[in-house]
């Protein structure tokens, strides 16, 4: 597996900064726009399910599911940034993920945080 298969995060050059902190050093919050979120639901792949079943017996990492979850989280983050941008924000503060099972057919991933306008401190 390559690094991109099991990690994620914001890509360079995005015009919306997404952070897990409540503030950004060197910046001030000029306007709080409010909560924003990005949501995606992924169905389970039958191949991954079979592999997961075997791994649960013999042990080990579920690489297919790890890759799928990383892709899903990245998609939810991209949608969060799009939602914040559409509301006039240039940052999302206190970003978090919520992951739940969706009716036993898939996984719901929600990236959420506080959309805000930030600017460098004078």
Closest CA to 89 of 45, 42, 26, 36: 36
Domain that residue 57 falls in:
3-120
Counting residues of the chain whose pLDDT is more than 70, the rounded percentage is 83
Cα atoms found within 13 Å of the Cα of residue 16, Cβ hemisphere only: 24
Q: What is the pLDDT, as a whole number, of residue 88? A: 98
Which sign does the torsion angle of CA 63, 75, 104, 96 carry?
positive
The CA distance from 75 to 68, in Å, is 11
Q: What is the largest CA-CA distance in the chain?
A: 59
The per-residue pLDDT for range 4-22, each reduced to its tens digit, is 766 777 777 789 999 999 9
Q: What is the pLDDT, as a whole number, of residue 69? A: 83
The answer to whether residue 32 scores a pLDDT higher than 80 is yes
Give how many domains the chain has, as a whole number: 1
Tell me the sheet residues that pair with 107.
42, 101
**Where residue 66 falls among pLDDT bands split at 50, 70, 90?**
confident
**Where residue 51 falls among pLDDT bands split at 50, 70, 90?**
low
The answer to whether residue 113 scores a pLDDT higher than 60 is yes
Q: If you average pLDDT over every residue of the chain, what do you get? A: 85
Q: What is the pLDDT, as a whole number, of residue 70? A: 87
pTM over 0.75? The answer is: yes
CATH number of the domain residue 19 falls in: 3.30.110.70
């Amino acid at each position: 597996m390559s690094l991109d298969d099991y990690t994620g995060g914001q890509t360079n050059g995005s015009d919306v900064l997404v952070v897990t902190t409540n503030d950004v050093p060197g910046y001030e919050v000029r306007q709080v726009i409010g909560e924003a979120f990005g949501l995606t639901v992924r169905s389970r792949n039958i191949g991954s399910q079979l592999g997961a079943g075997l791994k649960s017996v013999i042990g080990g990492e579920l690489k297919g599911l790890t890759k799928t979850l990383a892709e899903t989280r990245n998609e939810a983050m991209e949608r969060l940034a799009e939602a914040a941008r559409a509301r006039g924000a240039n940052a999302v503060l206190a970003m978090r993920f919520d992951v739940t099972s969706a009716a036993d057919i898939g996984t719901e991933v929600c990236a959420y945080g506080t959309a805000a306008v930030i600017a460098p401190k004078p």
